[in-house]
Structure 1
Amino acid sequence: MVIAIGFEGSANKIGIGIIRDGEVLANVRKTYITPPGSGFLPKETAEHHRNQVLGLIREALDVSKIYPNEIDVVCYTKGPGMAPPLLAVAIVARTIAQLWNKPILGVNHCIGHIEMGRLITGAQNPTVLYVSGGNTQVIAYSNKRYRIFGETIDIAIGNCLDRFARVIKISNDPSPGYNIEQLAKKGKKYYTLPYAVKGMDVSFSGILSEIGRKALPQKATKKRKLDQEDVNELPSHEDLCYSLQETIFAMLVEITERAMAHCGSNEVLIVGGVGCNERLQEMMGIMCEERGAKLFATDERFCIDNGIMIAHAGYEMFRTGTRMKWNDATITQRFRTDEVEINWEVGKV
C-alpha cells in the first residue's frame, strides 16, 4: 500500500490531494479569481497560493483522516506552468517533505491530467486531447512515452477563451471558460471565423483577433464613445461565444480524429480544464460514435487543475521505482509531455 500527497499550483488554482492505491482520499482546491476584464498575474497568483496552502494541507489531512507519518511520498507539480506559482508550491512541498522526512517527486502537469483521467474513467490506451489554459495537445502513448501528435502553434485554447472573456468583460467566477460556455448555450447565429488547422497543429491567435474585432466596433475610440446605434449593430455576446466555441472545438475534433486514424485507436480521453465543456464533449462524442469509438471525459473535480492528479501520477512513479534527488526537486517552466519516461503499464503496447 502506497499513500501519496500531491501539491498542484501551476496556474491560478492551488490544490492538494491524497491518494491511497488509486483510492481518492482528499481533493481540496482554491482558485484565485480576478475582477472582470482582467487576467491573473504570476506574482499575485503566487501570493494567493502562499496564503492558502497551509489551510489546504490541514483540510486535506482532516478529510482523508491520514496522519503525516502514514504518507509515503510527497509529490508536486514540477512544470509546465507559471514560474512564481510553481516555485511557491514547490518550496512548500520541499519543506513538508523535509519536516515529515519523506521522499519527494516532481510530476509533469500533463502526465498528472492524463493518469487521473485514465484512473477515473477506466480508459486503457486512449488518444488524449489535453486542453487547458496553458496547453493544447493531441497525445498518444508509444514506447514508454506519451507522444505529442499535434498542438497549438501559438496560444492555448483556454488562453484564447480567457482573453476573449476579458474583451467582453464577463466574470472570471468560477472561470471565464465556464461563463463563455453558458452564454454560448443561448447563441443562435453563427459568425464565420478563421479555421486554422495546419496539418496536425492548430492556431488560435488569429481567431481571437477576428472575434475581438467583431465584438468591438471600429468606430469606437478613446475620444468617441459608442452611441446606441453602434451598440445595436454589435453581435450579441451569446452569438459570439457560440461562434467561437463551434469553430475552435471543430478544429480540435478534426486533429483528434486524424490522430485516432493514425494510431488505430478506438478511445478518446479529454483532459484539462477546457475538457469540462459539455459542448466539446458533445462534438467529440458525435465523432467517436461515427467511428465506433468510445469517449471518456470527467467533470470539474478532476478536469480542472487539482492536487489529486499530481498525487496519483506521483504514486505511479513511486511504485514503479522512480526516485528524485533533493537537488533535482526544482521547477521547469517548460516541461514537455514527451520528456517523461512512463514505467507503468498503459493499455496494450
Structure 2
Amino acid sequence: MVIAIGFEGSANKLGIGIVKDGVVLSNPRHTYITPPGQGFLPKDTARHHREHALSVLKQALDEAQISPEDIDVICYTKGPGMGAPLVSTALVARTVAQLWKKPIVAVNHCIGHIEMGRLITGAQNPTVLYVSGGNTQVIAYSERCYRIFGETIDIAVGNCLDRFARVLKLSNDPSPGYNIEQLAKKGSKFLEMPYVVKGMDVSFSGLLSYIEEKALRLLESGEYSAEDLCFSLQETVFAMLIEITERAMAHCGSQEVLIVGGVGCNKRLQEMMEIMAKERGATLYATDERFCIDNGAMIAQAGWEMFRTGVTTPLEETSCTQRFRTDEVEVTWRS
C-alpha cells in the first residue's frame, strides 16, 4: 500500500492531491484569477502559489484524514510550465520532503494528465488528445514511451481561446475557455476562418491573428455577435484537433481515444470527438473539471506509478524545466 502526495503549480492553479493505490483521497486547488482582459504573469502567479501553499496542503491532509507520517512519497511537477510558478511549488515539495524525511519524485506534467485520465476513465491503451493552455499534443504509448504523433507548431489551443477571450474582455472566472464555451452554445452564424493542419501538426497563431483583427469590426457592424465568433472559433479549432487525432488512431489501429488537459472539459469538443469515435467503432473516454484541469492528484498518481517501479529523484536533481517533453520520460510502469 503506497500513499503519494502530489504538488502541481505549473500555471495559474495550485493543486495538492493525495492518492492511495489508485484511489483519490483529496484533491483541493486554488486558482489565481486576474481581471477580465488580462493574462497572468509568472511572478504574480508564483506569489499566489507561495501565499496559498500551506493552506492548500493543510486542506489536502485534512480531507484525506491522514498525517504526514502516513505518506510514502512526495511528488511534484518538474515541467513543462511557467518557470516562476514551477519553482515556487517545487520549493514547497522539496521542503516538505526534507521535513517529513520522505523520498521525492519529479513528474512530467503531461504524463500526470495522461495517467489521471487512464485511472479515472479506465481506458487501457488509448490514443490521447492532450489539450490545455500551454500544450496541444496527440500521443500514443509504444515501447516504454509516450510518443508524440502530432502537436501545435506555435501556440496551444487553450492559449488561442484564452487570448480571444481577452479581446472580448470575458471574465477569467472560472476560466476564459469556460466562458467562451458558454457563449459558443448561443452562437449560430459561422464565420469562415483559416483551417491550418500541416500533416500531423496544427497551427493556431494565424487563425488567432485573423479573428483578433476582424472581431471588433464585425461586432461593431452587428454582422456577427460575440456568441457567433466564439462558436466559429471553437468549431474550427476543434475540427482541426479531431482530424489529427483520427489520423493517429488510424495509424495506431486504436479503438480508444482519451481527452485530457484543461480544454478537455469542453463539452462541445467531447461531443465532436464522440461522433468521430462512433464512426470508427471506437470508444471515447473523457473526464470533468475535477480531473481535467491541472490538479495535485494527477501528479500524485503519475508519481505513485513511477515510485512503485523503483523510480525516485535524488534531492540535488529536483529542479524544474519549462521545456520537458512527454516523450523524454521512460514509462517504467506499463508493459
Equivalent residue letter for 1:52: H
Aligned counterparts of 1:233 and 1:342: Cα–Cα separation in 2: 53
Aligned counterparts of 1:234 and 1:83: Cα–Cα separation in 2: 42
How far did 1:333 drift? 1.0
Equivalent residue letter for 1:201: D
Is 1:331 the counterpart of 2:315 in the alignment?
no
Question: How many residues get paired?
Answer: 335
Match of 1:56 in 2: 56
How far did 1:232 drift? 3.6
Match of 1:225 in 2: none
Quick one: percent identity of the two aligned structures? 74
Aligned counterparts of 1:157 and 1:306: Cα–Cα separation in 2: 19
- Secondary structure of 1:66's partner? coil
- Secondary structure of 2:16's partner? strand
- Kept in 2, the 8 Å contact 1:215–1:234? The answer is no
Aligned counterparts of 1:117 and 1:139: Cα–Cα separation in 2: 13
Match of 1:250 in 2: 239
Equivalent residue letter for 2:39: G
- Secondary structure of 2:28's partner? strand
Cα deviation code 1:16-38 (max 9, x no counterpart) = 00000001100000100000000
Equivalent residue letter for 1:94: R
Equivalent residue letter for 1:166: R
Aligned counterparts of 1:36 and 1:215: Cα–Cα separation in 2: 17
Match of 1:167 in 2: 167
- Aligned-pair RMSD on alpha carbons? 0.9
Aligned counterparts of 1:332 and 1:168: Cα–Cα separation in 2: 33
Match of 1:284 in 2: 273
Equivalent residue letter for 2:300: A
- Secondary structure of 1:323's partner? coil
Aligned counterparts of 2:285 and 2:301: Cα–Cα separation in 1: 18
- Kept in 2, the 8 Å contact 1:79–1:331? The answer is yes
- Pairs within 5 Å for 1:162-201: 162-201=162-201
Aligned counterparts of 1:96 and 1:200: Cα–Cα separation in 2: 42
How far did 1:307 drift? 0.2
Match of 1:223 in 2: none
- Secondary structure of 1:15's partner? strand
- Pairs within 5 Å for 1:113-124: 113-124=113-124
Gaps of 5+ in 2: none
Cα deviation code 1:269-293 (max 9, x no counterpart) = 0000000000000000000000000
Cα deviation code 1:292-312 (max 9, x no counterpart) = 000000000000000000000
Equivalent residue letter for 1:161: L
Match of 1:27 in 2: 27
TM superposition score normalised by structure 1: 0.95
How far did 1:233 drift? 3.3
TM superposition score normalised by structure 2: 0.99
Q: Residue 312 of structure 1 is aligned with which of 294, 298, 301?
A: 301
How far did 1:236 drift? 0.7
- Pairs within 5 Å for 1:234-273: 234-273=223-262
For the pair shown, the structure with the greater C-alpha radius of gyration is 1
- Secondary structure of 1:76's partner? strand
Equivalent residue letter for 1:293: A
Aligned counterparts of 1:345 and 1:86: Cα–Cα separation in 2: 27
Equivalent residue letter for 2:67: Y
Cα deviation code 1:197-225 (max 9, x no counterpart) = 0000000001101111221229xxxxxxx
Equivalent residue letter for 2:327: D
Equivalent residue letter for 1:70: D
How far did 1:186 drift? 0.1
- Secondary structure of 1:40's partner? coil
Is 1:301 the counterpart of 2:290 in the alignment?
yes
- Secondary structure of 1:195's partner? coil
Aligned counterparts of 1:233 and 1:17: Cα–Cα separation in 2: 47
How far did 1:234 drift? 4.7
Gaps of 5+ in 1: 219-229
- Secondary structure of 1:216's partner? helix
Match of 1:221 in 2: none
Match of 1:11 in 2: 11
Aligned counterparts of 2:172 and 2:38: Cα–Cα separation in 1: 8
How far did 1:167 drift? 0.6
Match of 1:211 in 2: 211
Aligned counterparts of 1:233 and 1:71: Cα–Cα separation in 2: 59
Equivalent residue letter for 1:15: G
- Kept in 2, the 8 Å contact 1:214–1:235? The answer is no
- Secondary structure of 2:27's partner? strand
Aligned counterparts of 1:343 and 1:110: Cα–Cα separation in 2: 16
- Secondary structure of 1:253's partner? helix
Aligned counterparts of 1:102 and 1:234: Cα–Cα separation in 2: 61
Aligned counterparts of 1:204 and 1:332: Cα–Cα separation in 2: 24
Equivalent residue letter for 2:19: I
